Amino acid sequence: MATNLRPLHRACLLLLLLLLAAVPEARAQGFANLGQAAEGYAMPAPGPFAFPKDHGPHPGFRIEWWYVTANLEGADGTPYGIQWTLFRTALKPGADLGPGWSSAEGWMGHAALTTPERHFVAERRGRGGTGQAGVSLEKGFDAWIDEWRMQGPDIDHVRLNAEGPDFGYDLQLAAEGPLVAQGDGGYSVKSASGQASRYYSQPFYRVTGTLALPDGAVEVTGQAWLDREWSSQLLDATQEGWDWISLHFDSGAKLMGFVLREGSGGFTSATWIAPDGTPTPYPDGALRMTPLDRHAVQGRTVPVEWRVELPARDLDVTIAALNRDAWMATSVPYWEGPVTIEGSEGGRGYLEMTGYD
């Protein structure tokens, strides 16, 4: 069974921002508050998804996100990467959230644009109930915070835009494959103690659009990957961090995998997605990730080159960061950026690393 810690890391980011930052002693427990009781919140349960309703928000749950990464290329062959993320968190159980401006529902957006030389980051925060941020299914699909938006007639056909003080992007995303349920039909169990989430992905977006860079606009094309997840239960306190990958191979297959670093050991998980969208989850130990080269960024040293092996699929590749300085200098910082793939398969993808303090 695939456990999906990357989303949990995201949950951690969100909570750190909106909750833990307010409670300094929580830091002493590392990421401990992820384990806090979920009383009053809805609990994920196995079962089929109800689309399109499940594309929208699930106010009963504590945390939820819409997470897009894209590997892009300019007409001159220059590779680029973008990230667009919308987090939702309920500071009180759904029943007590409150209407309108009284809402205790927090939203947060992260946007990034990575070129081989530069890395741009922006962050937005807002409150549910004011109209500043939200996700609506009234007219197709519409997810937004401020002027950042992911919107279209349905979730497979959306326009994605975001802007910071010195960058921006405006992209058209069109899915060329099905939605992929992660874990056990979209019920993703996280640990032996039963923590779980609902989780699906859309890894088959074809992308065209424009990047706004300080030097001018750049037309781009490429591939994008959407992750959707919601949960109320969080992880134990013992993790040091995560190393997560989403890879698009030239063969049309995809791989989602991660290592949860814990003490001297680690816990791995992976999902192989066939070109037709059929997922195959792999349990702990099937995926091997080995750091090859490290890089100092913002006072931290992070591995920016990895050997990735999935023997069950005869996969043995090296992934390397397009821009080693892809540091997300957001409220809680982490590293996230595009990678290139060489070895038994070629291609490109995204790498996220947390907990390198």
Q: Where does this chain bind other proteins (CB under 8 A)?
A: 18-19, 21-24, 91-92, 98, 100-104, 106-107, 122, 124-127, 130-132, 144, 146-147, 163-166, 168, 212
Using the minimum distance from each CB to other proteins, give the nearer residue, 149 or 261.
149
Alpha helices (runs of H) in the chain, residue ranges in sequence order: 5-18
* Minimum distance of other proteins from residue 268's CB (angstroms): 35
* Minimum distance of other proteins from residue 357's CB (angstroms): 20
* Minimum distance of other proteins from residue 106's CB (angstroms): 6
CA distance 300 to 304: 12
Using the minimum distance from each CB to other proteins, give the nearer residue, 170 or 284.
170
DSSP state at residue 94: G
Using the minimum distance from each CB to other proteins, give the nearer residue, 13 or 180.
13
Using the minimum distance from each CB to other proteins, give the nearer residue, 15 or 259.
15
Using the minimum distance from each CB to other proteins, give the nearer residue, 162 or 315.
162
Burial of 92 (0-12, 13-18, 19+ CB in 10 A): middle
* Minimum distance of other proteins from residue 10's CB (angstroms): 18
Using the minimum distance from each CB to other proteins, give the nearer residue, 22 or 292.
22
* Minimum distance of other proteins from residue 178's CB (angstroms): 32
Task: Please state, as a whole number, how many other Cβ atoms lie within 10 Å of the Cβ of residue 114.
Answer: 26
Task: Please state, as a whole number, how many other Cβ atoms lie within 10 Å of the Cβ of residue 167.
Answer: 22
CA distance 327 to 8: 19
**Token pair listed for 95:** 């029943």
Using the minimum distance from each CB to other proteins, give the nearer residue, 147 or 342.
147
- Cα three-residue angle 155-158-161, rounded to 5 degrees: 130
Grouping H, G, I as helix, E, B as strand and the rest as coil, residue 126 is strand
* Minimum distance of other proteins from residue 56's CB (angstroms): 18
Residues whose CB falls within 8 Å of the CB of residue 277, separated by 6 or more in sequence, listed in order: 177, 178, 179, 180, 204
- Cα three-residue angle 31-34-37, rounded to 5 degrees: 145
Grouping H, G, I as helix, E, B as strand and the rest as coil, residue 344 is coil
* Minimum distance of other proteins from residue 120's CB (angstroms): 11
